[in-house]
Structure 1
Amino acid sequence: MNKTRTVIEQGIALQSEVKLDRWINEWETVNKTDHVKEQFYLQTKLNEQPPLSCSPDAGFVLSLLGHKKVFYLEQDLGTSSPKQIAARKTKGYAELANRRLHRKHFPETTLDVFSVLFVTTNAYRCKTTAEKLKTRPRPDLWLCIEQQELTPEAFLHEPITLNCQGERAPLVKPLETEIETP
């Protein structure tokens, strides 16, 4: 995951429009300034019975033009099948989204939605996981990225994300420049 964070930070450094406002690792305290008893992590218990939780590997906020969006990171190491990943991870993120609990992790966000970046080991796992996510709760949250395509130069504006509809797009659409006509 450190490699992914480094690539993201390098990608942000290559341009000036998008800012990385905050990064929180999996077991890092989210609200460090609160009283110790009130502190919490990204890992969120959502239900006791049936048990349901959401455990991102990391989370971060990107800002552009006054908007601040939350992204959660799932770093795939290739140890579980795409079907298992879709079955295990989606319910927790769906409930986190339905309750808008990303606002608890990142109160600075200006948006009621977040995205989950699923960074995986190869093109096959990227495509297969995106397909498996289609039938799971809140597939709209997920963007799959092949690790090899995740470079500093491609991170923001190249079409490296794959959604459950099989569509590729950039994480951030390039800003349009207005052309004045005489």
Structure 2
Amino acid sequence: MVTDRDILILRAVSRYYVLNRHQIQRLIFPEDIHGRVTRRRLQSLIDADLLNRQPMLVCHPQNGVPAPVYYPSPKGIELLAEFTGDDRFLATATQAPTMHHVWHWLAVSETHIAFDQAISLQTADSPYAVRVVEWLNEYDVVNPAETLPEKRFHLYTLLRSSPRLICAPDAALLLNARGHSKVFYLEEDRATTGVHQIAASKSQGYAVLAEVSGHRRHFPQATIDTFTVLMIAPTARRRDALRKAFREKQGAALWRFASVEDLKPERLLFEPIWYPCDGEPASLIKPNPLSEGESS
């Protein structure tokens, strides 16, 4: 029997793509201190083919206990579409995450969760009314029958065939505040590659994407003409090394950098934790001039 909280698990995995048991427990079963209930419900969903489990084991960063990760199954998203009446669930990615990229996907999920929690912290009378209109992950499918990545996936963009140039963000979101919508692309850094190699491989694709307004292909409803790329680094030292590496690259003005230690829900939107390549940090959402007694 599928329970209400089973549906919540399926929704969470559909939204975040890859989650481990600790994340699911934190989101759906916060009172399950020892994780027994969470493990039992996950196993029930696995047995019913409503959820996929990646057999690769990873170490959880907080306690070092190896744990598998979970991702959507075709049968699970079909159940969600039937249960909710929303056929958009059928476009959910169900392919297994590449084993050596599991840590990367968990980091993307943590950032997505942080955004959702930051949004939920707003009060009903907030003058900003910030919301995530849409979030796209790298493997979200737009044309299931296609095999070429530039035709199959929402975000994978072929900018030039020869020499080949692509832009393939880890994720993207359309953020709305005070009636205006802006596109943000996400790049998660795991410090597994040198900063100069990352800058060389990432900068040109985003610069050309900006030149051709390619972000409007992903989010045609955006009201702001430009986009920003958010790079999340594991430490402040790594963040600053990335800033320096991107400083002289094409499209450097597009980039903002933050460290995981600063990426807390209560700080993410309104505190100056986002650093440009040069200069002082700023908040993601600019202050409302009217709320500070200034004229419009």
TM value normalised by structure 1: 0.91
Q: Deviations over 1:7-50 (max 9, x none)?
A: 01100111142111000000102x47xx9566542011111111
CA contact (8 A) 1:130 1:166 kept: no
Partner of residue 21, structure 1: 133
SS in 2 for 1:168: coil
Give the CA deviation at 1:167.
Answer: 1.8
Match of 1:51 among 164, 170, 174: 164
The structure having more radius of gyration, on CA atoms, is: 2
- Structure 1 stretches of 4+ moved >6 Å: none
Match of 2:203 among 79, 83, 90: 90
Runs of 5+ unmatched residues, structure 1: none
Provide the C-alpha distance between the structure 2 equivalents of 1:137 and 1:167, rounded to a whole number of angstroms. Answer: 20
- Correspondence list, 1:123-142, <5 A: 123-142=236-255
Matched, 1:5 2:112: yes
Provide the C-alpha distance between the structure 2 equivalents of 1:122 and 1:69, rounded to a whole number of angstroms. Answer: 27
Letter in 1 for 2:264: T
Match of 1:152 among 253, 265, 279: 265
Alpha carbons of 1:93 and 1:174: their partners in 2 closer, same or farther (altered >3 Å)?
same
Q: How many residues align?
A: 177
SS in 1 for 2:231: strand
Letter in 1 for 2:120: A
Structure of higher RCO (CA pairs closer than 8 Å, 6+ residues apart)? 1
Provide the C-alpha distance between the structure 2 equivalents of 1:7 and 1:153, rounded to a whole number of angstroms. Answer: 9
CA contact (8 A) 1:86 1:136 kept: yes
Provide the C-alpha distance between the structure 1 equivalents of 2:213 and 2:167, rounded to a whole number of angstroms. Answer: 13
Give the CA deviation at 1:62.
Answer: 0.6
Give the CA deviation at 1:136.
Answer: 0.4
Match of 1:116 among 229, 237, 254: 229
CA contact (8 A) 2:138 2:153 kept: no
Give the CA deviation at 1:149.
Answer: 0.3
Q: Deviations over 1:126-166 (max 9, x none)?
A: 01111111100111110001011000000101110010113
Letter in 1 for 2:207: A
Instruction: Tell me which protein shows more helix as a share of its residues.
Output: 2
Task: Report the RMSD for the aligned CA atoms in angstroms.
Answer: 1.8
Provide the C-alpha distance between the structure 1 equivalents of 2:206 and 2:225, rounded to a whole number of angstroms. Answer: 14
Partner of residue 219, structure 2: 106
Runs of 5+ unmatched residues, structure 2: 1-107
Alpha carbons of 1:80 and 1:166: their partners in 2 closer, same or farther (altered >3 Å)?
farther
CA contact (8 A) 1:131 1:166 kept: no
Instruction: Tell me which protein shows more strand as a share of its residues.
Output: 1
SS in 2 for 1:22: strand
Letter in 1 for 2:267: A
